[in-house]
Amino acid sequence: MPLPQKERRFPSVKAMLKEPDSAHNGSDAPDIAAQRNATYSRLFWRFVWLTILCSLAPLLLVGWGINLHYSKFAGERMLDFFQTQVEDHRKDIERFLKEHTSKLQLIARTHELEQLIEPGALQNVFDLFNQDVRSLTDLGVIGEHGFHLAYIGPYDLWSRNYAKEHWFAQVMQKGLYISDMFMGFRKEPHFIIAVLHRSGERNWILRATINTEVFRSLVESVRIGQTGQAYLLNAEGILQTRPRLSGAIMEKSTYPMGPYHEGPRVRTLDGLKDSQGRERPRQIACQAWLQDPRWLLVVKQDYDEAFADVSHANTWTLVFLHLSAASILVVTVFITRHMITSIKRRDAEADRLNQQLLQAGKLASIGELSAGVAHEINNPLAIILTERQLLLDAARQAAIPDLEFQEQFTDSMSQIDIQVQRCKRITQNLLRFSRRTQSVIEKVDLNAFLREVIELMEREARTSGIKFFSELDAKLPPVLSDPSQLQQVFLNLITNAIDAHEGKPYGSVRITTQSDPDRRMAFVKVADAGSGIRPEHLDRIFDPFFTTKPVGKGTGLGLSICFSIIKRLGGSIAVHSEPEKGTEFTVGLPLLPPKELRDSLAYKDPLKTAA
pLDDT in tens, 465-486: 899 999 999 999 999 988 888 8
Percent of the chain with pLDDT over 90: 33
Residue 158: inside a domain: yes
| Whether residue 390 has pLDDT greater than 90 | no
The whole-number average pLDDT for the span 115-120 is 90
What's residue 434's pLDDT? 55
What's residue 564's pLDDT? 84
What's residue 555's pLDDT? 46
Least confident window among 207-221, 545-559, 571-585, 597-611: 597-611
Residue 497: inside a domain: yes
In the three-class reduction of DSSP (H, G, I as helix; E, B as strand; rest coil), residue 515 is classed as strand
Same domain, 474 and 565: yes
DSSP string, 266-288: EEEE-S-B-TTSPBPPPEEEEEE
d(CA 452, CA 459): 12
| Whether residue 249 has pLDDT greater than 60 | yes
Least confident window among 11-20, 151-160, 184-193, 321-330: 11-20
Residue 398: inside a domain: no
Name the nearest CA neighbour of 19 among 365, 351, 348: 365
The whole-number average pLDDT for the span 113-137 is 91
More confident position, 443 or 70: 443
The whole-number average pLDDT for the span 199-209 is 89
Same domain, 458 and 504: yes
Same domain, 169 and 230: no
- H/E stretch holding 113 reads helix 113-117
Instruction: For residue 43, give Cα distances in angstroms to 36, 98, 225, 336, 338.
Output: 10, 80, 56, 9, 12
Provide the pairing of β-strand 479-481 with 466-471. Answer: unpaired
The whole-number average pLDDT for the span 579-598 is 88
What's residue 20's pLDDT? 43
Give the CATH number for residue 168: 3.30.450.20
What's residue 609's pLDDT? 43
Same domain, 464 and 559: yes
More confident position, 56 or 342: 342
Q: Tens digit of pLDDT for each residue in 429-458?
A: 566 555 544 567 889 999 988 988 888 788
Same domain, 131 and 245: no
Same domain, 586 and 458: yes
What's residue 198's pLDDT? 85
Same domain, 452 and 586: yes
**pLDDT range class, residue 608, cuts 50, 70, 90:** very low
d(CA 495, CA 526): 10
The whole-number average pLDDT for the span 130-149 is 92
Percent of the chain with pLDDT over 70: 86
The whole-number average pLDDT for the span 580-604 is 81
Residue 239: inside a domain: yes
| Whether residue 488 has pLDDT greater than 60 | yes
Least confident window among 54-63, 90-99, 212-221: 54-63
Residue 371: inside a domain: no
Torsion 357-359-363-364 (CA) sign: positive
More confident position, 74 or 157: 157
What's residue 281's pLDDT? 86
The whole-number average pLDDT for the span 188-199 is 92
Give the CATH number for residue 446: 3.30.565.10
Name the nearest CA neighbour of 148 among 214, 189, 188, 194: 194
Domains in the chain, number: 3
The whole-number average pLDDT for the span 495-522 is 90
| Whether residue 305 has pLDDT greater than 70 | yes
Q: Tens digit of pLDDT for each residue in 523-579?
A: 999 999 988 888 888 887 877 666 666 544 554 456 878 888 888 889 999 999 988
**Residue 158 domain boundaries:** 111-214
What's residue 367's pLDDT? 65
The residue among 258, 283, 306 that closes a domain is 306
| Whether residue 196 has pLDDT greater than 50 | yes
d(CA 476, CA 480): 13
User: 489 with 554: CB under 8 angstroms?
Assistant: no
Same domain, 135 and 283: no
Mean pLDDT of the residues in the chain = 83
Same domain, 466 and 600: yes
d(CA 248, CA 253): 9
| Whether residue 149 has pLDDT greater than 90 | yes
| Whether residue 170 has pLDDT greater than 50 | yes
Same domain, 163 and 231: no
| Whether residue 402 has pLDDT greater than 60 | yes
Residue 364: inside a domain: no
Least confident window among 10-14, 163-167, 280-284, 414-418: 10-14
Residue 315: inside a domain: no
What's residue 550's pLDDT? 57
| Whether residue 99 has pLDDT greater than 90 | yes
Least confident window among 152-166, 199-213, 411-425: 411-425
The whole-number average pLDDT for the span 20-33 is 54
The residue among 306, 329, 346 that closes a domain is 306
d(CA 450, CA 390): 36
Instruction: For residue 66, give Cα distances in angstroms to 76, 309, 317, 322, 325.
Output: 15, 17, 9, 14, 15
The listed range with the strongest mean pLDDT (333-337, 363-367, 548-552) is 333-337
Same domain, 205 and 231: no
Residue 165: inside a domain: yes
The residue among 246, 275, 306 that closes a domain is 306
More confident position, 433 or 202: 202
Same domain, 567 and 467: yes
| Whether residue 459 has pLDDT greater than 80 | no
